[in-house]
Amino acid sequence: MIGVALKGLAARKVRALLTAFAVVIGVAMVSGTFVLTDTMQKTFNGLFDASFDKTDAVVSGKEVVKGSLSDNSARVPEALLNKLRAQPQVAAAGGTVSPPEANAADILGSDGKKVAQESVAASIDRANPQFSPLTLKTGTWAKGPGEVVVDAGTAAKEHYGLGDEVVVSTLGHAHRYRLAGTVKFGDSESLGFASVVAWDLPTAQKLFGRQGQFDVVSIAARKGTSPAQLVRAVRPLVGSSLDVKTADKQAADNADNLNSSLSMIRNFLLGFGAIALLVGAFVIFNTLSITVAQRTREFATLRTLGASRRQVMRSVVIEGLVVGLLASVTGLVAGLGIAKGLILMFSAMGTDLPEATTVLETRTIIVSLVLGTGMTLLASILPARRATRVPPIAAVREGSTLPPSRFATHSLKAGVAVTAGALALVGTAVLAGGLSGAAVALLLALGVLGLFAGIAVLAPHLVKPLTSVVGWPARRAGGVAGDLAGANAVRNPRRTASTAAALMIGLTLVTVVAVLGAGLRSSVESAVTKQLDAGYVVDGSDGMPFRADEGDRLARTPGVTSSSQVRSDKVLLAGEEEDISGIDPKTIAHFYTFKWAKGSEQSLGRLDADGAIVTKAYANAKQLKLGSPLALTTPSGTKRTLVVRGIYSPPKTSQLLGAVSMTQRAFDDAFTQSKNSFTFLDATAAAGHRIEAAAKGMGDAKFHTGAAYAEDSTKDMTTFLAMLYVLLGFSIVVSLLGMVNTMVLSVFERTREIGMMRTIGMTRRQARRMIRHESVITALIGATLGLGLGVFIAALVTEALSEYELPLMIPLGPITGFTVVAVLAGLAAAVVPARRASRLNVLDALHYE
């Protein structure tokens, strides 16, 4: 039977190829995700290892608050370095300056804008170069205050040559340097999203206020001393504000933070691969079902010649196995291209990744092959079981067909039961209180999958009424061909429904994204408008805070009539990380509207040095009331206690202030390096251009007019939604291939019928039109189910998120666009089968068997 199965595949190459494509795309998405994240992980791990390649132990300031974006950690004093060098276990020790800020040293291009999304600043100690992750590629190391070295990737991108002038902004001040050389970070010439700038040690210390101090001290052990022994030996010398770790532990800690982020990216992208595979399963099932139905007499003949039911089933399963295995191998290879495409997508979103050698792990190969082959086998089981039910007598009957399955007679009841169960799960997730976030997510996921399954089972019973509606344009515009197309669509409702179901899944998901996206945009814009009333707003680029002194310079711009600044950072409150804001009580109410739950506008005047106002949500979560104390720990380890003076209720979405707000003066005292999240300004119209020009010269500041700020706040969301549409587009492509496959098989099945119609006068053009209309009707059935189900699911999710004031908004533009996409998909799917139908030789078709 293996030979029979392989010969059957060889005789149906086109059908097998179209079926395989459905698997290829899903597997390619999965393998591409693994290749991308594994490559990123290996690259960054290599960078971390390079940072400590010749280091055995590291002394640095303790990271009290991990989420802090400010440089508030403790410094390592130069006196400690001298003590460390004197220890018998220490072979060498060197201090480096490496500010932890994301944009410590921005290289500015000729237009005054930074050339990379982020920047890394470093120092080179010529006496201890082994402790630096940087290696010289061209030129020499920087010497003196007038020279720098930059990473080779940035130098190549900006066409810098040795001796050229490079403008670097540090601590908000631009300086001009001569390029002394280019460097690599480990083995990488570029960090992708970040540029690298390095000075000699004295220059870096002066630039970043580290005179007599270092950010990190690296230690090499004497021969015979292990890293653990070295750490134990030097720990008594290290103060409570500093930490000492082995180099391996430090590299592992750095990698853990990255791996957590990569895990989120991996799971996010794998979700879209799973969606593509799910749609592919519909396509495979549908194709094999049609193929089995068309081969009734073939299977009956095999049974007549002595083949058992098990052998017939085995032949069909083998076909699925071969198709699945070949498609999985192809998808695995195609995943390398998908990985490159994902890199380009991240680049288009402003996040360039480091150049690296592609990594193909054994796990990627195994998972891709098992997923693709397993999905194909699962989708082929039911058609294979139907093949075993072909009676031998069917071999001598004209027009013999498969007997209906037992499930088919109960499909309506089963569909209603599954749909009702799914709705019960979703209803429990939305309406039941007291459930954890994980439980709600699980119930919603199971409910949505159940809805897909229930609607797919019910779909055959919906085909006829839906065809009467969506087929009306075909009947009006297509004449007889349109009438025949509608009749063909309802002739085999199960086939039409399963073809439409593949498109339904993709359109359901993009509709959910569109509806929720529209609601979220509206909610964010409404929230910003309720909170803010300012002529101009300056915030941080890419969500990063900007330097407080830059905000001060903006406030001093001629023509500014009033201003207020909002500092921001993260602190530990009762041991948990929370956002905290620093506000000016005298000016903030002019721009920000407080909706007081407890307290009033006078609460701002009573903040003083130890006062704070908190959001109602935070007060309820921590059971705070007016006068309650708040224990606060800053990133530098400073502890203080604040007293709640007021409680207010900001919108749940897009809160502009942190959960806790203290006075700006107290904030500046508590944080060694203050940064702004916002600068609010009122000014004359003429001053607006001056403010905008000043903000452009600041690396991390971004200018907005007050009128446009609410809409500007949703731009990142729009970019993210566009990325979701691209990723969900893979499932649409798979469903398109499924439609092509179904129409090709349908034309093949109706060869004699089409030949008969051609004999009685149907023209080639009418034949093409009939197939096109039939394909469009099928696509519109899928679109109707998908759009309707998508809006329904989005409404359920909106209800579940009602506490966040998320409105249900139906975006007519995208919905109309999705419908047009469905029609175009139907037309595209009909191109090949319509041409085949129109080119059938009438005489050959009439005696076709």
Q: DSSP string covering 92-110, please? A: EEEEE-----TBSEEEE-T
- Binned at pLDDT 50, 70 and 90, residue 131 comes out as confident
More confident residue, 106 or 46: 106
Number of domains composing the chain: 4
**Which of 223, 247, 271 is the last residue before a domain boundary?**
247
Q: Residue 413: exposed, middle, or buried by beta-carbon count in 10 A (0-12, 13-18, 19+)?
A: exposed
Residue 482 reports pLDDT greater than 90: no
Evaluate if residue 208 carries a pLDDT over 80: yes
Same-domain pairing of 83 and 222:
yes
Q: Higher model confidence: residue 494 or residue 166?
A: 166
User: Average pLDDT, stretch 820-827?
Assistant: 82
Alpha-carbon distance values, 566 to 102, 423, 663, 664, 694 (Å) = 20, 46, 10, 8, 18
Is residue 427 one of the residues assigned to a domain? Answer: no
Segment among 171-175, 606-610, 665-669 with least mean pLDDT = 171-175
Q: What is the pLDDT of residue 464?
A: 86
Q: Which of these ranges, 124-133, 294-303, 716-725, has the smallest mean pLDDT? A: 294-303
Q: Measure the CA–CA gap between 671 and 668, rounded to whole angstroms.
A: 5
**Does the pLDDT at position 283 exceed 80?**
no
In a domain, residue 42? The reply is yes
DSSP string, 261-287: HHHHHHHHHHHHHHHHHHHHHHHHHHH
- Predicted confidence band at 845 (pLDDT cuts at 50, 70, 90)? low
Q: How confident is the model at residue 113 (pLDDT cuts 50, 70, 90)?
A: confident
Same domain as 566, residue 526? no
- ∠ at Cα 793 (790, 798), nearest 5°? 120
Closest to 441 (Cα-Cα) out of 806, 800, 803, 790: 800
Is the pLDDT reported for residue 406 higher than 80? no
Query: What pLDDT does residue 307 have?
Result: 74
Q: Clarify whether residues 258 and 373 are in a common domain.
A: yes
Average pLDDT over residues 732-739: 76
More confident residue, 61 or 396: 61
- Higher per-residue confidence, 26 vs 7: 26
pLDDT surpassing 90 at residue 138: yes
pLDDT for the residue numbered 737: 73
> What is the mean predicted confidence (pLDDT) over 397-421?
69
Position 318 confidence tier, pLDDT thresholds 50, 70, 90: confident
Residue 438 inside a domain? The answer is no
CA distance 53 to 3: 58
**Residue 5, in any domain of the structure:** yes
pLDDT digits (tens, 9 = 90+) for 657-698: 999 999 999 998 888 778 889 999 999 888 888 888 888 767
Q: What φ, ψ does residue 544 adopt, rounded to 5°? A: -90, 140
Average pLDDT over the chain, rounded to whole? 82
Q: Is 79 helix (H, G, I), strand (E, B) or coil?
A: helix
- The b-or-e profile of 711-733 (16+ CB within 10 A means b, else e) is ebbbeeeeeebeebbebbebbbb
Q: What is the mean pLDDT of residues 8-22?
A: 65
Query: What pLDDT band is residue 15 in, cutting at 50, 70 and 90?
Result: low
User: Of the ranges 20-29, 153-162, 726-735, 834-843, which is most confident?
Assistant: 153-162
Residue 588 sits in the same domain as residue 559? yes
Q: Is the pLDDT of residue 4 over 60?
A: no
115 and 231 belong to one structural domain: yes
List pLDDT tens digits, range 684-734: 888 888 888 888 767 678 899 988 998 888 888 887 888 788 878 777 777
Q: Which of 247, 279, 299 is the last residue of a domain?
A: 247
Query: Among 317, 427, 464, 467, which Cα is nearest to 383's?
Result: 317
Task: Indicate if the pLDDT at residue 330 is higher than 70.
Answer: yes
| Averaged pLDDT, 506-513 | 86
Q: Are residues 276 and 370 in the same domain?
A: yes
What mean pLDDT is predicted for residues 58-75?
75
Stated pTM of the model: 0.77
Residue 839 has pLDDT above 90, yes or no: no
Report which of residues 769 and 164 the model is more confident about. Answer: 164
- Per cent of the chain over pLDDT 70 is 88
Same domain, 223 and 150: yes
Residue 117 near residue 542, CB atoms below 8 Å: yes
Banded model confidence at residue 477, pLDDT cuts 50, 70, 90: confident
pLDDT at 177: 94
**One domain, residues 233 and 266:** no
Provide the β-strand partners of residue 561: none
Share of the chain above pLDDT 90, in %: 16
First to last CA, the chain: 23
**Containing structural domain, residue 570:** 545-699
Pairing of strands 560-573, 216-221: unpaired
Residue 626's pLDDT band (boundaries 50, 70, 90)?
A: very high
Are 671 and 762 members of one domain? Answer: no
Q: Are residues 664 and 733 in the same domain?
A: no
Tell me: pLDDT of 108 over 80.
Answer: yes
Residues 722, 845 within the same domain:
yes
201, 225, 247 - which closes a domain: 247
Quickly list DSSP for 485-500. HHHHHHHSHHHHHHHH
Torsion of CA 119, 125, 131, 137, to 10 degrees: 60
Q: Which of 81-95, 444-458, 584-598, 609-623 is the least confident region?
A: 444-458
Question: Is residue 442 situated within a structural domain?
Answer: no
d(CA 60, CA 67): 17
pLDDT at 846 over 60: no
What's the gap between Cα 553 and its chain centre?
Answer: 37
Q: Is the pLDDT of residue 849 over 90?
A: no
Q: Indicate whether 205 belongs to any domain.
A: yes
Sheet containing 242-246: order of strands: 90-96, 216-221, 57-61, 242-246
Q: What is the pLDDT of residue 38?
A: 83
- 288 and 343 inside one domain: yes
- Cα–Cα distance measured from residue 569 to residue 673, given in angstroms and rounded to the nearest whole number: 10
Mean pLDDT throughout 397-417?
Answer: 65
